[in-house]
Structure 1
Amino acid sequence: MQPASTGWTAVTQVTASKVLRQMRDAGHADLHDNIVRFLRALALEVGSAVESAKPPPGLPMTIRGVTWYSLPVPNDPVFFNYSVYPEQQQIRVCDLIWVAPA
């Protein structure tokens, strides 16, 4: 059992989780692990930005009252959208797009 987190976390929605699983299943475990580490670090960066009253990283777009931020993963063929939930100290990744090699 892992201890409860005391800081900001990243949660992947169903669609994003499926893409992460596909990466691993397709033999791209290193890419999967890089993305997971990137999302964990991003959650901490977003938390710091929110607590400093600064905008989170990414291109903002508001859809049905929720602001989503679009961001590429540097040096990897992946980009995604996330939203921020300060009351839960959480970012939620809804869309994770992987440009898989042909």
Structure 2
Amino acid sequence: MRPVSKGWTAVTQVTASKVLSQMRDAGYVDLHDNIVRFLRALALEVGSAVESANPPPGLPMTIRGVTWYSLPVPNDPVFFNYSIYPEEHQIRICDLIWVASL
């Protein structure tokens, strides 16, 4: 059983979770860990913005009534889209794109 969080959290949807797993499986453990830390910090930043009526970080775009924010991860080859669910104190990451060079 998970403890109930009292703060804002980041939840990755299935496709974003798969990309994170692929990073780790491909040996990019540090990148994986950096992205996870970034998403956790972003959830707190978004929560603070929402609670103070400021705009959250990222470029907003509305698709079928849901506003998504597009954001790159600074200094890493990753960008993603997230949506905000204030009643649940949660952001949800649906698309996580890792630009891997071979």
Q: Same fold (TM over 0.5)?
A: yes
Structure 2 equivalent of residue 57 of structure 1: 57
User: Which residue of 2 is the match for residue 3 of structure 1?
Assistant: 3
Cα distance in 1 between the residues matched to 2:19 and 2:34: 14
Output one character per residue of 1:47-78: Cα deviation in whole Å (capped at 9) or x when no partner.
00000001110000000000000000000000
**Aligned AA (2:81):** N
RMSD: 0.8
> Sequence identity of aligned pairs in percent?
87
TM-score, scaled relative to structure 1? 0.97
Report 1:1-102 matches (<5 A).
Answer: 2-102=2-102
Q: How far 1:3 sits from its partner (Å)?
A: 2.6
Structure 1's unaligned 5+ residue stretches are: none
Structure 1 CA distance, aligned partners of 2:33 and 2:17? Answer: 13
Once the two structures are TM-superposed, the CA of residue 101 in structure 1 deviates from its matched residue by 2.0
Q: How many residues align?
A: 102
- What runs of 5+ residues in structure 2 fail to find an aligned partner? none
